[in-house]
Structure 1
């Protein structure tokens, strides 16, 4: 699949993958701080953003989408970074194509299995009748019945597009809902990536815990873990300066 991406900056290639319900635009503010040092590829994963939609949606196909992008761009090797679902995609890619990854950065996700915990978000998104919604404010008010956190709602509404026919989701909501179990799948056993790997965790997030450290070490023996202070799961939005500093330090 030919993924949509934004390319900017100059230097060694750094590919950035967003998380579930997100898009390449989630990392645009971070990219502005990094474009003087890297050629950045901000990618929309399949069924998200402006990339094509498909009934097939799992880490295996997302890994192959990424390989196709690298092949098309003539990238033999690149720095690779992903957040949450994008981090799982990046980890899976590094295990399958280790020779294509110079260094790996994983933002707030571990290799283990995660139980489905997005049901209230899915319920809220599915509750919106896009044929009736007249404004983003109205959409936000409807979502608030299911999702009390204003920051989460603002993040989700970035995927609400609008054209001449009205509002539409940029995410493939039916396929994501049907295959939501795919997002939490653990990495497959039997492989490891020996390249330098950085795990960035939000100190206020539960996604990476002390109990995950042995699992991380088994898949990524050449790793380090840095906890970003005063940050939750969306650490790049909550503490962008600290995240940029860690990226620069690790990739220097």
Structure 2
């Protein structure tokens, strides 16, 4: 699959960034720009997101294999960074295709079932009810979604997926498939593999996505894992604490020891 990607920076270290559910590769843009002299960053739109193709079905390993094939063809062995859904897919890539992953950073997600994905069900339902065939403007879409999605930040994040081309509005994300696949997105199928490369697990101190009982499953799959918690960050660690996150990324790429914040 020919995934859409942006390349940012010209540094010596190749890095592939994977965004979260309903996001796009460009969500990593400010981080990649800050790392421009240290890294050449490849910001992928995941399958069923952004400008990448859609699939007819969804399974974590199926999606991870599409990403792994793209990495093998376009980049080669690389550092791999993934947030939320992108973090789950990054873990599956490292476990299934370790020869492609020089080092791994998993951002605020665990190799475990996480029911937080189900919270997206109401958001998807609201988006599906929006009549985009008779939409006249993005402002109208924002106004009509406000009662169902009152959080301005969440609503505007989701509306990044609304594309206007000619007189036609459409969604970039495959909301039908992804909305129907929230159980799979929140899950973690058993896998008989170990990734023994350097692994950094960056979590938000105010996030509910990673809990203490996730530590042992993480160590079993990634025996060289080091956890760093940014105490003031929620689930969107790189957006909540960008300077601290960039500092962690620099040490990650330089293979230096990372001291927990």
- Common fold by TM > 0.5: yes
Q: Please identify, of 173-182 and 213-222, the stretch whose mean Cα deviation from structure 2 is larger.
A: 173-182
Aligned length: 251
Does residue 52 (structure 1) correspond to residue 89 (structure 2)? The answer is no
Give 2:36's aligned residue. Answer: 35
Q: Please say if 1:113 is aligned against 2:109.
A: no
After superposition, the Cα gap between the structure-2 partners of 1:95 and 1:73, relative to the gap in structure 1 and judged at 3 Å, is same
> SS state of the match for residue 15, structure 2?
strand
Q: More displaced, 58-67 or 204-213?
A: 58-67
Stretches of structure 2 that go unaligned for 5 or more consecutive residues are 255-261
**Alignment-derived partner of residue 194 in structure 1:** 196
- Corresponding residue for 2:166? 164
Give the structure 1 partner of residue 218 of structure 2: 216
Provide the rounded CA distance (Å) in 2 between the counterparts of 1:106 and 1:250. Answer: 11
Partner of 1:83: 83
Secondary structure, in 3 states, of the residue corresponding to 2:43? strand
The one-character-per-residue Cα deviations of 1:32-91 (angstroms, maximum 9, x if unpaired) are: 10121111110001110000112122222222212221222251x100000100000000
Counting only pairs closer than 5 Å after superposition, residues 62-141 of structure 1 correspond to structure 2 as 62-75=63-76, 77-115=77-115, 116-141=118-143
Between 143-152 and 8-17, the greater mean CA deviation after superposition: 143-152
Task: Indicate yes or no: 2:129 matched with 1:149.
Answer: no
Is the Cα contact below 8 Å between 1:22 and 1:48 reproduced in 2? yes
Structure 1 portions without partners, runs of 5+ = none
TM-score by length of 2: 0.92
Q: RMSD of aligned C-alpha atoms?
A: 1.3
